[in-house]
Amino acid sequence: MPWFPDFVNAAELARRADGSAGRADPVGRYLTALNDGDARGLEKLWPGNVVVHDPRAGEIRSHRQLRRLVRQTRSWLADHDAHIETVAATCVGARAVVELVAHLDGDGRASTWPVAVVAESHGETSIDFRTYCSQVPIDGRHHLRPPILPPGDFRLGDVVGRYQAAMEAGDAEEAVSTFASDGYVREPVDASDTHRGAGELRSYFTRCFSTGGGISAQVCEVTDDGVSSAVEYNCVRWGGRDVPVQAGLAVYERGPDGLLAAARVYDDIEAPVA
């Protein structure tokens, strides 16, 4: 049957194409697995290791843990009638950072929950997923998020570096000056918690620094495509005093004038201010 070898080749090409498409959109495949409650697609695409760093479940490494996490997440999403909207994506090399808003409607209240997922591939067979978000929309309180990554040796340049320096120095005016006239900061608990324009930003930063100092963070990883810079960090100090080291992520979006159009924060740090 001379067609049989061609059939096998076609099937193999189709399998490879599906795998390439999946690896080209790893966060999309991860979200599909969570939405379907089925981890088999992830295990098929990355047969080596699928490692997940989840705010509630911690570090997931075994297939059994992954399947349990996926099933539990599917149940939780269904209970909260959740649907997920993609806000932005920053992709460089083997790393992709996707920003999402989960629209939740449960327990008699609705909310828009900001979530960021980092996918970092290690060759064609293994991948890490790191999720950053606040847990206040889940149970009404902050949770300590231990470091995920070690600090790296990064020197942030341009307006992102200026902003980070202003935050560390506790300089509200300098922080405001890094934003475009309609630029904004979005806080991590709800997507509606934004501070836009010089007046709102000045009030926000003044409150952040009201305990007598800035906010210090160790930069662990940077994914920068020239427009957006996604910075994974460990917060170590707030307002002149050390805090338990906590993991987070912020995405800084540059405007056409080179100033910040947006700073979106994904962490669960309980600020020591009113």
Is the domain of 125 the same as that of 234? Answer: no
Copy the structure tokens of residue 109: 């209240």
Mean pLDDT, rounded, for 176-191: 97
pLDDT at 1 over 90: no
Quick check: is 191 in a domain?
Answer: yes
pLDDT value at residue 11: 37
Is the domain of 178 the same as that of 131? Answer: no
pLDDT value at residue 259: 98
Mean pLDDT, rounded, for 15-30: 69
Quick check: is 148 in a domain?
Answer: no
Quick check: is 274 in a domain?
Answer: no
Tell which of 104, 139, 174 closes a domain.
139
Quick check: is 146 in a domain?
Answer: no
pLDDT at 15 over 50: no
Answer yes or no: are the C-beta atoms of 228 and 251 closer than 8 Å.
yes
pLDDT at 5 over 70: no
pLDDT value at residue 272: 83
pLDDT at 107 over 70: no
Is the domain of 93 the same as that of 49? Answer: yes
Residue showing tokens 């959740």: 82
pLDDT value at residue 218: 96
pLDDT value at residue 22: 53
pLDDT class for 80, splitting at 50, 70, 90? confident
Is the domain of 43 the same as that of 75? Answer: yes
Show the domain range for 116: 3-139
User: For all residues of the chain together, what is the average pLDDT?
Assistant: 89
- Computed on alpha carbons and rounded to an integer, the radius of gyration of the chain in Å comes to 20
Quick check: is 272 in a domain?
Answer: no
pLDDT at 13 over 50: no
pLDDT class for 228, splitting at 50, 70, 90? very high
Instruction: Record the pTM.
Output: 0.89
Residue showing tokens 């940077």: 222
Mean pLDDT, rounded, for 130-151: 94
Tell which of 139, 173, 196 closes a domain.
139
Is the domain of 236 the same as that of 117? Answer: no
Quick check: is 246 in a domain?
Answer: yes
Is the domain of 135 the same as that of 165? Answer: no
Is the domain of 24 the same as that of 120? Answer: yes
Count of the separate structural domains present in the chain? 2
User: Rounded to a whole number, what is the largest CA-CA distance in the chain?
Assistant: 81
Quick check: is 61 in a domain?
Answer: yes
The DSSP code sequence of the chain is -THHHHHHHHHHHHHHHHHHHHHHSHHHHHHHHHHHT--HHHHHH-SSEEEEEETTTEEE-SHHHHHHHHHHHHHHHHHTT-EEEEEEEEEETTEEEEEEEEEEEETTEEEEEEEEEEEEEETTTEEEEEEEE-SHHHHSS------SS--------HHHHHHHHHHHHT-HHHHHHTEEEEEEEE-SS-TT-EEEHHHHHHHHHHHHTTTTS-EEEEEEEEEE-SSEEEEEEEEEEETTEEEEEEEEEEEEEE-TTSSEEEEEEEE----S--
Is the domain of 7 the same as that of 125? Answer: yes
Tell which of 92, 107, 139 closes a domain.
139
Quick check: is 153 in a domain?
Answer: no
pLDDT in tens, 196-218: 999 999 999 999 999 888 999 99
Is the domain of 107 the same as that of 218? Answer: no
pLDDT in tens, 234-249: 999 998 788 899 999 9
Is the domain of 130 the same as that of 32? Answer: yes
Residue 194 to residues 25, 182, 184, 189, Cα–Cα distance (Å): 29, 12, 6, 10
Is the domain of 120 the same as that of 213? Answer: no
Is the domain of 124 the same as that of 12? Answer: yes
Strands 126-133 vs 109-122: parallel, antiparallel or unpaired: antiparallel
Task: Give the whole-angstrom CA distance, residue 228 versus residue 224.
Answer: 6
Mean pLDDT, rounded, for 31-59: 94
CATH value at residue 260: 3.10.450.50
